[in-house]
Amino acid sequence: MTYPKLLRPVMVASSLAQLSLAAYPEISSDRCDCFLTNGSSSHYFTSHKFFDFRDKSNYAGVPALLGTPEDSSQADATSDYFVSDEWTENWGLQTWNNSAALASTGSDASVFMVHSPNNVYIEKNEDENADSDTYLTMRTARLKDFQSASEFESKIHNYHFLSVRMYARTLGAPGAVTAMFTYRELANSSDLAKVQESDLEIRTLDPPDYVQYTNQPSYTSMGLDLQEATRNVTIPDKRDWTNWAVYRMDWSPDATTWFIDGNEVASISFQTPRDPSMIIFNSWSDGGSWTGNMSVGSEAKLQIKWIELVYNKTETTSSRHKRTLGYLEKRDDSCYTVCSIDQTQDTGTAVVLQGSVAKISSFGGVLFWASVLSLALTFW
């Protein structure tokens, strides 16, 4: 049978669509109307950010520890990267200390702790069979008279539900904590009824396959533990926190859910944060019962190759959307192009799940867009 010339490519494309592997095409994030995450805590979000620390050799260098609290808190950034727009428009290095906690009767901290910009730096990857040139390191170290720690927080303080991930590991001596968490800033943080915080915490005094997750507060004003606020988890696949792994935290209205390398490991609906919050990463110790007390001269580090998040905010999220969103429970009319950061093998990129170019077929080195096929069929 002879077909009109116009219809021949249509029939070829139709056949290819049947043979398609249904791979999702990559797309620039700013062309996505929303992002749908996978897993049991699947939700829609409006915005995407990716921070990649794997190829920053120009900034690499391990700074010497600074010997006094004053020098530590007043330290300059360790490289030009931490004064670049990419960093300063999104993150703030912290310099606060725990003098207030030491003076409080409600804290058992025993060591003066100072956060220093000097402890956040880009480090050359010396791993055997390294898969990156560099990574970001957050250091905490015990000196004779104080604990030198590190912390950075998001410049956005009105995240209102999100999915945040880091590719990271923890190394070092017992007595430190490394963490990734959401935090609601309070004028009076001692009022437990107002605390809103979801934590991923690794304590280096714990067994190396042990991670703790909490929706704070984890105790009452009477000092009693709230068992339903905490999950103690063993890392899957006989791995531990000295190995590189993807740690993911999904904060939604109903629960906070945590994953390690794609495996759901904990979910807590009790005390799920309700109000807009920031994201914080830190590496620290204060000599208290929670962290333990590091030996003088010892160090611990949180090392991160990348951070990625999809999120909503309480204000208008983009000039294209022109809408105010705290949470998208389902796809709405303004969410036309639905994207994913989970259905791609290329970390940091987005692919189209639903929209005008939802799928791509490949055969014999020729690519056919599904939307083009639909258009061509109108000429049948």
The per-residue pLDDT for range 273-328, each reduced to its tens digit, is 999 999 999 999 999 999 999 999 999 999 999 999 999 998 644 544 444 444 55
Distance CA 284, CA 96 (A): 12
- Listed in sequence order, the residues at least 6 apart from 20 whose beta carbon sits closer than 8 Å to its beta carbon are 359, 360, 361, 362, 363
Average pLDDT over residues 116-138: 98
User: In terms of DSSP bridges, do strands 299-313 and 47-52 run parallel, antiparallel, or are they unpaired?
Assistant: antiparallel
Distance CA 241, CA 354 (A): 36
Which structural domains are found in the chain, ordered by start? 7-45+317-377 (no CATH), 47-313 (2.60.120.200)
Using DSSP's 3-state secondary structure scheme, residue 79 falls into: coil
User: For 330-368, how does the pLDDT look when each residue is reduced to its tens digit (9 = 90+)?
Assistant: 666 778 999 999 999 899 999 999 886 655 433 333 333
Q: Per the structure block, which two tokens stand in for 288?
A: 């208290």
Distance CA 272, CA 162 (A): 13
User: In terms of DSSP bridges, do strands 91-93 and 113-115 run parallel, antiparallel, or are they unpaired?
Assistant: unpaired
Average pLDDT over residues 152-180: 98
The pTM for the full model equals: 0.86
pLDDT classification of 116: cutoffs 50, 70, 90? very high
> Across the chain, what does the average pLDDT equal?
86
Distance CA 231, CA 259 (A): 13
Estimate the crossing angle of helix 7-19 against helix 370-377, to 10 degrees.
Answer: 140
189 against 316, higher pLDDT: 189
